[in-house]
Amino acid sequence: MKHLFRFAALTGAAILTLSVLTACGTSPAKTDGLRIVTTTYAVYDMAKQLTAQYTQPAAVTLLLTPGGESHSYEPSPADVAAIQSCELFVYIGGESEVWADKLISASRAEKENLRMFDCVDLLNEETVEGMEADEEDEEEEVPDEHIWTSPLNADAMLSALHDTLNRIAPEEAANCDAAFAPLHEDFLALDQKAKEIKANQRTNTLVFADRFPFRYLTDAYGWDYYAAFSGCSSDTDASAATLSFLISKVQEQNIGTVFYLENSSQKISDAVCRATGAKAVMMQSGNNVSAEDFKAGRHYQDIMAENLAAIQEALS
């Protein structure tokens, strides 16, 4: 499948580089606290919040560069060294992170690793009506990797991370428990908000003139959608047929909001909005955040609350 999420498999050269770095003592500096490495912002933020009250501060690392394109990430030798030296490596799993599974098999099999794919029920990517299809592998079933976009999935991920942290650092369990309780309530509140939106909506269809990384969210609450591309598609330019289809659906169903993603060029959403008079609104996938949001410590629950507010306005 043509995916920007299809990272290069971890190569022998990277493993060799790792061994050289370790042998020469140039691996990341040791800290007194727990070292955690994560591959997506949503999980990074959960780890930061769960360890915020630790007596001995934890060092939580996000492999992605804030503000960068998350779909083109590949681990550098320094990233590999950071993963190798940490006490806990947390990743999503699936096609985009085959490199992580290979690294674990090669050098972390006896260490703590948390694969979030194992914490939730998976949904396959789908090609809905009007969406650009990956002709190369369109019959291949590939799990959608944006599992955190469903609040209840995120809560399951939070619980798994909480339990893992308490097993690794039992001396900090009381602090982790204290951080977990309000977070758990926040995530359940997101679920309740989504149910309220569903109960009071005027229409049931969302339009994304962009990639669509929200299948778990729409599936959880029964929302219909049209989109230009699947969530992991490598395409960024829609065909005339796809653009025409989205425009026709917005017009036919009197849809007033067209969504685009963070870091999008907005070319497709702008074209649809010019043709229909609809308003373009951004939604954030939670894969990564801007450098400004990263510095401010933007939380997953705040991102999702804004997404739900945008959906509520679109469906009202």
Q: What is the CATH number of the domain that holds 211?
A: 3.40.50.1980
Q: Is residue 136 part of a domain?
A: no
Rounded to 5°, the CA angle 191-66-43 comes to 35
**According to the model, what pLDDT value does residue 95 have?**
85
Tens-digit pLDDT profile for residues 70-120: 767 889 999 999 999 999 999 999 888 889 999 999 999 999 999 999 999
Domain with 256, as residue range(s), is 201-283
- Is there a single domain that holds both residue 244 and residue 171? no
Is residue 19 in some structural domain?
no
In this structure, are 177 and 264 located in the same domain? no
pLDDT at position 254 is 96
- Decide the pairing of beta strands 257-261 and 112-115: unpaired
pLDDT digits (tens, 9 = 90+) for 161-200: 999 999 999 999 999 999 999 999 999 999 999 999 999 9
pTM for the model stands at: 0.89
61 φ/ψ angles, rounded to the nearest 5 degrees: -115, 135
Residues 112 and 227 both lie in one domain: no
106 and 46 in one domain? yes
Specify if 237 maps to a domain.
yes
Domain presence at residue 260: yes
Q: Which of 13-22, 42-51, 52-61, 231-240 has the lowest mean pLDDT?
A: 13-22
Percent of the chain residues past pLDDT 90, beyond the cut = 78
Q: Are residues 220 and 169 in the same domain?
A: no
> Does residue 171 sit in the same domain as residue 98?
yes
Is pLDDT at 37 greater than 70 in this prediction?
yes
- pLDDT score, position 205: 98
Residue 29 lies in a domain: no
Number of domains in the chain: 2
Please state the φ and ψ torsions of residue 97, each to the nearest 5 degrees. Answer: -120, 35
Question: Would 247 be classed as within a structural domain?
Answer: yes
* Co-location of 265 and 168 in the same domain: no
Shared-domain flag, residues 177 and 206: no
Task: For residues 66 and 176, state if they share a domain.
Answer: yes
Indicate whether 162 and 230 sit together in one domain. no
- The reply to whether 49 and 151 lie within a common domain is yes
Binned at pLDDT 50, 70 and 90, residue 68 comes out as: confident
User: Are 254 and 166 in the same domain?
Assistant: no
Confidence of residue 20 (pLDDT cuts 50, 70, 90): very low
Q: In angstroms, rounded to a whole number, what is the distance separating the alpha carbons of residues 16 and 1?
A: 29
- Distance, in Å, from the CA atom of 86 to the CA atom of 81, rounded to the nearest integer, reads 9
